[in-house]
Amino acid sequence: MKKISFTSVIALGLLLTGCASQTGWTPTVDPYNDRNANRINLDMQECEQLASHASGGTAKETAIGAGVGGLIGAAGGAALGAIVGNPGTGAAIGAAAGGIGGGASKGISSDEQYKRAYSSCMRQRGHNVIN
């Protein structure tokens, strides 16, 4: 039976966190003096889809960041590991650290882009967006 490492569990946790981060957020819309108040719910559904498409999806971007970060981390870790006599362990540690950092960074960036696109879409449709 294959043993799952602690770093694999952390990396999976970060990826799942990145996947879930877009799904719960919606902009706060003030319906007072909103001439399009009757369209808020429909516009929110449409803008959510557009924002998800515009941001590339947090899950996809997190996975890309984790992959790139893991490759860069593995290379750097292998080089440092070679200096101390164990390039394999250095590569594994570097890959885990780089993957977690790269995934988190891309996930956060994608999530912020999602929020900006969502809010912008609602404003362009004439709604009073608070955040």
In Å, what is the CA distance from 41 to each residue of 25, 29, 49, 75, 88? 14, 10, 13, 48, 54
Residue 119 lies inside a defined structural domain of this protein: yes
Residue 34 lies inside a defined structural domain of this protein: no
* Phi–psi pair at 66, nearest 5 degrees: -65, -40
Residue 25 lies inside a defined structural domain of this protein: no
Domain enclosing residue 65, as ranges: 6-18+41-129
Residue 69 lies inside a defined structural domain of this protein: yes
Residue 99 lies inside a defined structural domain of this protein: yes
Residue 67 lies inside a defined structural domain of this protein: yes
Residue 32 lies inside a defined structural domain of this protein: no
Residue 104 lies inside a defined structural domain of this protein: yes
pLDDT, one tens digit for every residue, the chain (131 residues): 444 454 554 555 555 444 444 457 999 999 999 999 999 999 999 999 999 888 775 455 555 556 656 656 655 665 656 666 766 666 666 666 665 665 555 556 678 888 999 999 999 999 999 98
Q: How many domains does the structure of the chain reveal?
A: 1
Q: How many CA within 13 A on the CB side of residue 73? A: 19
